């Protein structure tokens, strides 16, 4: 029988996740990712310990070829690494095939720019002559001077 999420190793891993108090939705996502991984493995594999680094690398390449976002691919690689790390920790593996599997880098978003109206409102508060406005003006000037 080909790999499936009904395998004892997968069921034990999902129980382990429940014991760690992961949210049911997170556990379902882990199960879905493992099912997706197993669908991409050769049909002659019958147990998770038979999965090799090459199978995992091909799976990640397939995710990227499908055009999935880097964050999605990264999240799935993390699930795969946790699963095989678990199998290693409980003695079902002698080596972790996911250990050399790189986690794709996810680009950082730039901060949202203020609108003209927001900038005008901000600067109008700095031009007031109250104690808090003077404090805010000093904090603003300090933060700007450290950007250069």
Question: 8-89: which CATH architecture?
Answer: Orthogonal Bundle (1.10)
Domain boundaries, the chain: 8-89, 116-145
Q: Is the pTM of this model over 0.85?
A: no
Residues 6+ away with beta carbon under 8 Å from 48: 3, 7, 9, 10, 83, 84, 87, 92
The two structure tokens encoding residue 63: 């995710």
pLDDT in tens, 24-75: 999 999 999 999 999 999 989 888 999 999 999 999 999 999 999 999 999 9
């Amino acid at each position: 029988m080909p790999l499936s999420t009904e395998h004892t190793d997968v069921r034990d891993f999902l129980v382990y996740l429940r014991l760690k108090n992961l949210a049911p939705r997170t556990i379902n996502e882990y199960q879905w990712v493992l099912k997706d991984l197993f669908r991409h493995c050769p049909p002659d594999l019958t147990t998770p310990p038979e999965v090799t680094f090459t199978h995992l690398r091909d799976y990640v390449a397939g995710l990227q070829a499908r055009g999935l976002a880097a964050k999605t691919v990264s999240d799935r690689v993390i699930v795969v690494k946790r699963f095989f790390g678990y199998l290693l920790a409980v003695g079902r593996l002698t080596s972790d095939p996911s250990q050399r599997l790189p986690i794709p880098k996810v680009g950082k978003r730039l901060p949202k720019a203020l609108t003209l109206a927001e900038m005008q409102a901000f600067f109008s508060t700095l031009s007031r002559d109250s104690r808090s406005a003077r404090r805010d003006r000093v904090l603003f000037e300090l933060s700007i001077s450290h950007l250069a």
